[in-house]
Chain A
């Protein structure tokens, strides 16, 4: 069952189409990774889900209702983005206090604990915080809100590797303690892969993949071997990219079974999530010499 659904959603900014007829659902009590390239439409989608913006056309439903100006829904939503707006003269304490006022399920003890873990100083003005400290504050708000719908748009920018790991661990703990629907937009795909139940890939305002994270590894394969064998195997299948060198070819193929490739005499490599996303979102004009992207087969 989906907690969040977008049906035929288009969002325009002037003559720029940020989202183009998007249909997608986000499963309840699951962590869904939302990935794609810069300008793909990820942040726009998250803005629609969190009531920060309104669709040009189509329907956005969060727990069955339009979130825009809907306090009943938004009380259950906590969205933290990399560019979260904070008044610079406010202190960390004042920002957390405000978050507590606006999120009915706020867990003060958890917030205190996280403030200590991330070594934030409550009396420090937000304008004086480093990029990483600002992100840490966003992470504290996202986790302590205990919001049933949690939207994270690259909330870790500026956090060091240790702090990011702490965040991921605490997020997993929180999801177990208080199940929530999480959408996590990130460019660090492999780093968050272990958190994800589902993966949605968006490119040029369209959803190009929506699948359980586990199955994504199997849905895209890299096969290599003699060119004639690769040609034969690729025939009738969707080839995302291909490189030929002499009589040897390497192809990234979508929707093929690894066993079939092995039976065809090819070498098979399961791609890490990051490479799957790269393969799905690389366009023909961006391929290096010797590569063909999205070739007809």
Chain B
């Protein structure tokens, strides 16, 4: 068995990344159903829920934890950094495929049941409504990959530089994002740039962009940990 497969099995068995995001999603779903049941037919209540974000947000934390806990653990058991990263790539790939398929299947159930009998849009989102089930699954998988890439960078920073490193990242990203926003507003072209981006073909916006983010995150995380020392 290769080291990557071993790390993959550790991640699956450990349950850190596999269970929690789905458990939180299930809780979010239950709360949403209860909320809409209580709201009844009140027309003032918007039927589009944002609860599905719970899965992606917790996936960031779960993936970050996989890096901060499982990387030192495997290094302590004579694993290598390269082996860990390859195992994570395998795991995240499987996680993304599973996410795409499961969420698409649940979308199908939601449509078939008339929004769980209450016209609720929990698994559907307006931007993906026009896509085929295959396209939707691909986009959801790509979004999960991007989220995992983001979590990987956070985890790698924590492993290498600790909490102080994370605060530096937040500060630098904040300054950069703020500067871009200020420049966009000052030049008067910010709105046009955003409009130009979202009107591009869906595959470019919702598939290619997340994949680029995921690949960038994975590469950056690898650069950060490839010489990290276990102390």
Contact of A101 among B9, B70, B226 (CB under 8 A): B9
**A89: interface (CB < 8 Å):** yes
Cross-chain contact A70 with B80 (CB below 8 angstroms): yes
Distance of B69 from chain A, by nearest CB (Å): 4
Cross-chain contact A94 with B78 (CB below 8 angstroms): no
Say yes or no: A52-B76 contact (C-beta < 8 A), given A97-B13, A101-B1, A102-B6. yes
Stretch at the interface among A77-85, A237-245, A247-255: A77-85
Q: Which residue of A lies closest to B9 (CB)?
A: A101
Say yes or no: A89-B15 contact (C-beta < 8 A), given A74-B79, A102-B78. yes
Contacts of A50 in B (CB 8 A): 78
Contacts of B15 in A (CB 8 A): 89
**Interface size, chain B (Cβ < 8 Å):** 28
Q: Which residue of A lies closest to B226 (CB)?
A: A69
Cross-chain contact B3 with A102 (CB below 8 angstroms): yes
Contacts of B73 in A (CB 8 A): 85-87, 90, 95, 98
**A103: interface (CB < 8 Å):** yes
Cross-chain contact A94 with B227 (CB below 8 angstroms): no
Question: Which of B74, B77, B83 has most chain A Cβ within 10 Å?
Answer: B77
Cross-chain contact A71 with B77 (CB below 8 angstroms): no
Q: Considering the chains assembled together, what is the distance between the CA atoms of A102 and B83 in angstroms?
A: 11
Q: CB within 8 Å of B: which of A43-98?
A: 47, 50-54, 69-71, 74-75, 77-79, 81, 84-90, 94-95, 97-98
Contact of A75 among B16, B78, B227 (CB under 8 A): B78
Q: Which residue of A lies closest to B3 (CB)?
A: A71
**B230: interface (CB < 8 Å):** yes
Cross-chain contact B76 with A85 (CB below 8 angstroms): yes
Cross-chain contact A87 with B16 (CB below 8 angstroms): yes
* B68-96 to A contact mask, C-beta < 8 Å, 1/0: 01101111111111110000000000000
Q: Considering the chains assembled together, what is the distance between the CA atoms of A69 and B77 in angstroms?
A: 13
**B108: interface (CB < 8 Å):** no
Q: Considering the chains assembled together, what is the distance between the CA atoms of A220 and B229 in angstroms?
A: 38
Q: Considering the chains assembled together, what is the distance between the CA atoms of A102 and B10 in angstroms?
A: 10
Say yes or no: A78-B78 contact (C-beta < 8 A), given A52-B229, A101-B10, A102-B6. yes
Say yes or no: A102-B77 contact (C-beta < 8 A), given A87-B70, A89-B16, A94-B13. yes
Q: Which residue of B lies closest to A88 (CB)?
A: B69
Q: Which residue of A lies closest to B81 (CB)?
A: A69
Contacts of A84 in B (CB 8 A): 76
Contacts of B76 in A (CB 8 A): 52, 79, 81, 84-86
Distance of A13 from chain B, by nearest CB (Å): 9
Distance of A100 from chain B, by nearest CB (Å): 9
Q: Considering the chains assembled together, what is the distance between the CA atoms of A84 and B81 in angstroms?
A: 17
**B14: interface (CB < 8 Å):** yes
Contacts of A230 in B (CB 8 A): none
Q: Which residue of A lies closest to B83 (CB)?
A: A71
* B40-58 to A contact mask, C-beta < 8 Å, 1/0: 0000000000000000000
Q: Considering the chains assembled together, what is the distance between the CA atoms of A170 and B182 in angstroms?
A: 68
Cross-chain contact A87 with B14 (CB below 8 angstroms): yes
Distance of A3 from chain B, by nearest CB (Å): 15
Cross-chain contact B16 with A102 (CB below 8 angstroms): no
Q: Considering the chains assembled together, what is the distance between the CA atoms of A99 and B78 in angstroms?
A: 9
Q: Considering the chains assembled together, what is the distance between the CA atoms of A87 and B75 in angstroms?
A: 12
Cross-chain contact B80 with A69 (CB below 8 angstroms): yes
Contacts of B1 in A (CB 8 A): 101
Cross-chain contact B14 with A51 (CB below 8 angstroms): no
Cross-chain contact A71 with B80 (CB below 8 angstroms): yes
Q: Which residue of B lies closest to A141 (CB)?
A: B77
Distance of B90 from chain A, by nearest CB (Å): 14
Distance of A219 from chain B, by nearest CB (Å): 34
Cross-chain contact B81 with A99 (CB below 8 angstroms): no
Cross-chain contact B70 with A103 (CB below 8 angstroms): no
Say yes or no: A77-B78 contact (C-beta < 8 A), given A47-B230, A87-B73, A90-B14. yes
Distance of A29 from chain B, by nearest CB (Å): 19
Distance of B227 from chain A, by nearest CB (Å): 7
Cross-chain contact B10 with A98 (CB below 8 angstroms): yes
- Beyond A54-B229, A84-B76, 10 additional contacts (C-beta under 8 Å) are A52-B75, A53-B229, A53-B230, A71-B83, A78-B77, A89-B14, A94-B14, A97-B10, A101-B9, A102-B77
* 7 nearest A-B pairs in the assembled complex, by CB-CB distance: A101-B6, A85-B72, A52-B230, A87-B69, A53-B229, A74-B78, A102-B77
Q: List 16 A-B contacts (CB under 8 A).
A: A47-B231, A52-B75, A52-B76, A69-B81, A69-B82, A71-B79, A74-B80, A85-B69, A87-B16, A89-B15, A89-B69, A98-B73, A99-B77, A101-B6, A101-B10, A102-B74
